[in-house]
Structure 1
Amino acid sequence: MNDSGSHLPQLGQWHGPEDLHSLQEKQLQQTLLWAANSPFYRQRLTAGALPASAADLSDLALTTKQDLRDNYPYGMLAVPKKRLATYHESSGTAGRPTPSYYTAQDWADLAERFARKWIGMSDEDIFLVRTPYALLLTGHLAHAAGRLAGATVVPGDNRSLAMPYARVVRVMHDLGVTLTWSVPTECLIWAAAAAAAGHRPGADFPQLRALFVGGEPLTSARRGRISRLWGVPVIEEYGSTETGSLAGECPNGRMHLWADRALFEVYDPRTGSVSREGEGQLVVTPLYREAMPLLRYNLEDDVSVSYDDCACGWNLPTVQVFGRSAFGYRVGSATITQHRLEELVFSLPDSYGVLFWRAKAEPSALRIEIEVPQEHRAAARAQLTASVGDTFGVPSDVVALPPGTLIPAEALTSMPDVVKPRSLFGPGEDWGKALLYY
């Protein structure tokens, strides 16, 4: 293999399910050989008993996040350490880390998958990357994809004190940012920060072409609200630190699994059955993962997968991502999920100005707080209360708060001075900050 990625399948190289299946089967044997080199899979596989086809994979046990934690740091490694290019850990890991590592060859596949944006990326673009760098994959992945396309990358890491929201808005406006990558919530906060700086999000950023988003479930209602605020398409991406990009959006607005680069199954945790499509948890076997092969890795994300035809002509399965079922909470006899509740909040009329909200599921009622200007509070409260009752059949207490309550104005406008550590201070200076970055 080489670093150019020329060996990798490209969109348009297959013409239907049979061609796609042939691509998968051809690469699967190499994937299995790579997996057999890792200490973890060496215990599950023997050279004489490797699965002969994708259908035979179902005989293997699922790989879980706990397996990755139990084999930290190098129990999943299938290549010599000297061949590694990067090491990462996923977010939200409790206890032992969830490790991931990639070779330079792996990165060719990673960057190409992320760069599959229907709107295109080129050397004409100024690309703001506003997701974490550090140990997570997300920022590095977008950065690599942007450079692969020749774009100018602005590394706006959203975990850095050096990049407050006021600076994000200034950079977007002054540099003429054309593309961004962030979680969807960031796009709403930028809109509020832009307004606080005297800018109109949909009018004063004329170079902006699209907002790339991922990292959290996105309902059609919130997506539409973001798109109307900024006046550009919102293009969704789905993946993980352990796998890289797994799905991207076509020009028709449907999310397609990159089934030329990975095998996908839908797992029903109640019955233990698996299928090619339907609803359940997404299980993935990356086909071009050399450093850390994963066989039947359960992402534990609730999804719906379909092989229905799409007019885009990509000939790839479609997926809807609902997030984790564990994030649902009981109120009375109903289960409240963020996905369903978010759809109700962002179905409120745009004229109400609701961008930020939060909710708490109590045993007997659902508490919801929304930021809304004074003139729309009564209407917003009444409409949201009614829609929650109609949808979930549970009582709710909707509180309408003044703008600036959930997202303080200071968070949108402050520009803190981030200094380097020092040990020598003069009279009257606060030496409590010695050695610290803040």
Structure 2
Amino acid sequence: MNDSSSGLPQLGQWNGMEDVQRLQEKQLPQTVSWAARSPFYRQRLNSAALPANAADLAALPLTTKQDLRDNYPYGMLAVPKERLATYHESSGTAGRPTPSYYTAEDWIDLAERFARKWIGMSDKDIFLVRTPYALMLTGHLAHAAGRLCGATVVPGDNRSLAMPYARVVRVLHDLEVTLTWAVATEYLLWAAAATAAGHRPDADFPALRGLFTGGEPLTTVRRKRISRIWGVPVIEEYGSTETGSLAGECPDGRLHLWADRALFEVYDPETGAVRTEGEGQLVVTPLYREAMPLLRYNLEDNVSVSCRDCACGWGLPTVKVLGRAAFGYRVGTATITQHRLEELVFSLPDSYRVLFWRARAEPAVLRVELEVPEEHREAARAELAASIRDTFGVDSDVVGLPPGSLVPSAVLTSMPDVVKPRSLFGPDEDWDKALLYY
């Protein structure tokens, strides 16, 4: 997207991190000035000189998710309401919502960042967006990026009863979809639904050329498995509803922080120290966000950031997101994490056709259930139990289940009727559907 007319920094316009830091320093005073217009930052910055550089900025307190909740709905607003284009709330919020809002100008920055895909997006693409279109940013963000690049966008909201998996498969096949955006688990569900419909995922969708994914932990082994199933690359994205895209994957498979569009810090919650690289919690200051500027916003994601050169030549720091993978449950003396357990499950041979599994960590034993065809059931059970013992040193109860036990076949094949609201029915119609709008 180097030919953008937005005036925002574009990939290829700098040589290394020193140039990027100059871009940050140039934009930061404007960002701070925008922030000072909001009730929240007006109070926070009232008694101090406005930060003029990154060193000054580091003296400010962190902005937290709780700050956003406490200032719901408009305490973070830095522009007149009339200038707002969209309002969003993040998923998984307990109690008071975490609000986010953007102007039309903010959306140019958002869409350009998401569109930085090494595989490219153009008017030749049919782009299936299969993430929520509700209050979260994710579906709207991909949609806007697709349109920015001229792609034909297919809005396949994954929270809508109007878009069951059978319809996803039909759309993928009949519309000759080239690019998609979904959480990683969706791609396994699509593969099962495609197989149930008589399709071969790696052969019967020849137009497909890339699967974009984010919003869910994804191990290397599961990613490679999804790529083998569909025969195309799986391309990761990292961001949040509060910030939009923060990092994207380069051709060499590394996630790069968009440091030309945001200032990043690595924060150690135990010491309070901040660095430009290393391990800690990721703190972000978006540089081109006017409606709701965020100064030193702590995402509370544990990350590892490196400023070493990457062969791709983008000249941006790389990031590994560690936070969600680090959470686990105790079994005996071991801590079981989903990330490590997933690696074991998807290290089973592809020929076993294991796609769906679940586990429960109990004080003395790890219970695992996985769908697997009968001819591979005992081998898969024994191999996974042995891997768990070797890796974690704990007892496990691994049970192989027939396909359809965890993900019912009806979920993959049904095409439910979507009823539009009405109150008048004929003599042979089911009027119990009058208030059931699905």
Name the CA distance, whole Å, in 1 between partners of 2:406 and 2:233: 27
Using a 3 Å threshold, how does the CA distance of structure 1 residues 259 and 137 change in structure 2: closer, same or farther? same
Matched to 2:40, the amino acid is F
User: What residue number does 2:251 align with?
Assistant: 251
The residue number in structure 2 matching 1:371 is 371
Q: Which letter does structure 2 place at the counterpart of 1:64?
A: T
Report how far residue 436 of structure 1 moved. 3.0
Change in Cα spacing, 1:404 to 1:246, as seen in structure 2 (3 Å) is same
Distance 1:171 1:383 in 2: 37
Greater mean alpha carbon deviation, residues 292-301 or residues 143-152: 292-301
Partner deviation per Cα, 1:174-204 (whole Å, 9 max, x = no partner): 0100000000000000000000000000000
Aligned length: 435
1:134 aligned counterpart, secondary structure: coil
Measure, in 2, the Cα distance between the counterparts of 1:138 and 1:98. Answer: 15
Hey, what's the Cα distance between the residues in 2 that align with 1:72 and 1:122? Answer: 38
Show the counterpart of 2:143: 143
Q: 1:340 — aligned with what?
A: 340
2:44 match: secondary structure: coil
Distance in 2 (CA, whole Å) between partners of 1:73 and 1:326 is: 32
Secondary structure at the counterpart of residue 305 of structure 2:
strand
Name the residue aligned to 2:88.
88
Counterpart-to-counterpart distance in 1, 2:265 and 2:5:
26
Which amino acid is 1:353 matched to?
A: R
**2:56 matched residue in structure 1:** 56
> Which residue does 2:186 correspond to in 1?
186
Deviation at 1:309, TM superposition (A): 1.2
Cα distance in 1 for partners of 2:124, 2:169 equals: 20
Percentage identity across aligned positions?
A: 83
2:185 pairs with 1:172: no
Superposition deviation, residue 360 in structure 1: 1.1
Q: Shift in Å at residue 162 of structure 1?
A: 0.5
- Bigger drift between 43-52 and 80-89 goes to 43-52
Q: Assess if the C-alpha contact under 8 Å between 1:5 and 1:108 holds in 2.
A: no
- 3-state DSSP of counterpart to 1:271: coil
Kindly indicate whether the alpha-carbon contact (under 8 Å) linking 2:217 and 2:325 is maintained by their aligned counterparts in 1. no
Shift of 1:332: 2.2
Verify the 8 A CA contact 1:357 1:406 in the aligned structure 2: yes
Residue of structure 2 in register with 1:158 after alignment: 158
**Within 5 Å, which residues of 2 pair with 1:2-13?**
6-13=6-13
2:232 counterpart residue number? 232
Q: Which amino acid aligns with 2:407?
A: I
Residues of 2 paired with 1:79 and 1:47: CA distance? 22
> In the aligned structure 2, how far is the partner of 1:325 from the partner of 1:219?
9
> Which residue of the partner structure matches residue 301 of structure 2?
301
Question: What amino acid is aligned across from residue 247 of structure 2 in structure 1?
Answer: A
Using the TM superposition, name which of 282-291 and 48-57 deviates more. Answer: 48-57
TM-score if structure 2 supplies the norm length? 0.97
Determine the C-alpha separation between the residues in 2 that align with 1:60 and 1:325: 29
Instruction: Give the conservation status (yes or no) of the 8 Å contact 1:301–1:325.
Output: no
Deviation at 1:326, TM superposition (A): 7.5
Whole-Å separation in 1 of the counterparts to 2:293 and 2:328: 31
CA separation in 2, counterparts of 1:263 and 1:427?
65
Q: Quick one: which amino acid aligns to residue 92 of structure 2?
A: G
**Contact 2:325 2:338 survives alignment (8 Å):** no
2:392 maps to a residue whose letter is F
- Please say if residues 127 and 152 of structure 2, whose CA atoms lie closer than 8 Å, have aligned partners that are also in contact: yes
CA contact (8 A) 2:217 2:324 kept: no
Q: CA deviation at 1:55?
A: 2.0
- Counterpart of 2:328? 328
User: What is the alpha-carbon distance in structure 1 between the residues aligned to residue 112 and residue 173 of structure 2?
Assistant: 28
SS in 1 for 2:322: strand
2:212 counterpart residue number:
212
How far is the alpha carbon of 1:49 from its aligned partner? 1.2
3-state SS of 1:285 partner = strand
- Answer yes or no: is 1:223 the counterpart of 2:223: yes
SS in 2 for 1:207: coil
- Where do 1:260-409 residues align within 5 Å? 260-324=260-324, 327-409=327-409
- Whether the aligned pair in 1 keeps the contact of 2:210 and 2:235 (CA below 8 Å) is yes
Contact 2:306 2:317 in 1 (8 A): yes
Q: Provide the secondary structure at the position in 2 that maps to 1:49.
A: coil
Mark the CA change 1:113 to 1:47 in structure 2 (over 3 Å): closer, same or farther. Answer: farther
The alpha carbon displacement at 1:58 in A equals: 2.1
Q: Provide structure 2 residue ranges, at least 5 long, that are not aligned to the other structure.
A: none
Offset at residue 5 of structure 1 (A): 5.5
The DSSP-based 3-state class of the residue aligned with 1:342 is helix
Conserved in 2, the CA contact under 8 Å of 1:420 and 1:437?
yes
What is the Cα deviation at residue 48 of structure 1? 5.1
Q: Which amino acid aligns with 1:200?
A: R
Read off the aligned partner of 1:242 and give its amino acid letter: E
The whole-number CA distance in structure 2 between the counterparts of 1:129 and 1:237 is 14
Q: Give per-residue Cα distances to partners, 1:385-405, cap 9 Å, x unaligned.
A: 122222222222111111111
Deviations 1:111-131 (A, max 9, x none): 000000000000000000000
Tell me whether 160-169 or 374-383 shows the greater mean CA deviation: 374-383
- How is 1:23-62 mapped onto 2 (pairs within 5 angstroms)? 23-46=23-46, 49-62=49-62
Question: Could you tell me the TM-score, scaled by structure 1's length?
Answer: 0.97
Displacement of 1:283 in angstroms is 1.1
Structure 1 residue 132 and structure 2 residue 127: aligned? no
- The farther-off stretch of 206-215 and 355-364 is 355-364
**Counterpart residue type for residue 341 of structure 2:** L
Larger deviation, residues 167-176 vs 329-338: 329-338
C-alpha distance in 2 between matches for 1:109 and 1:344: 39
Q: Secondary structure at the match of 2:260?
A: coil
Q: 1:55 to 1:325 in 2, by over 3 A?
A: farther
Contact 2:84-2:291 within 8 A present in 1 as well: yes
| Contact 1:216–1:323 (Cα < 8 Å) also in 2 | no
Query: CA offsets, 1:406-431, max 9 Å, x none?
Result: 11000000000001011112334332
The letter for the 2-side match of 1:306 is S
CA 1:270–1:332: 2 relative to 1, 3 Å = farther
Distance 2:401 2:196 in 1: 18
* Stretch deviating more after TM superposition (318-327 or 18-27): 318-327
Match of 1:422 in 2: 422
Match of 2:75 in 1: 75
Q: Is the 1:262–1:286 Cα contact (8 Å) retained in structure 2?
A: yes
In 2, Cα distance between the equivalents of 1:62 and 1:423?
53
Contact 1:217–1:322 under 8 Å retained in 2: no
Residues 302 and 325 in structure 1, CA contact (< 8 A), matched pair in contact too: no
Give 1:435 deviation, angstroms. Answer: 3.1
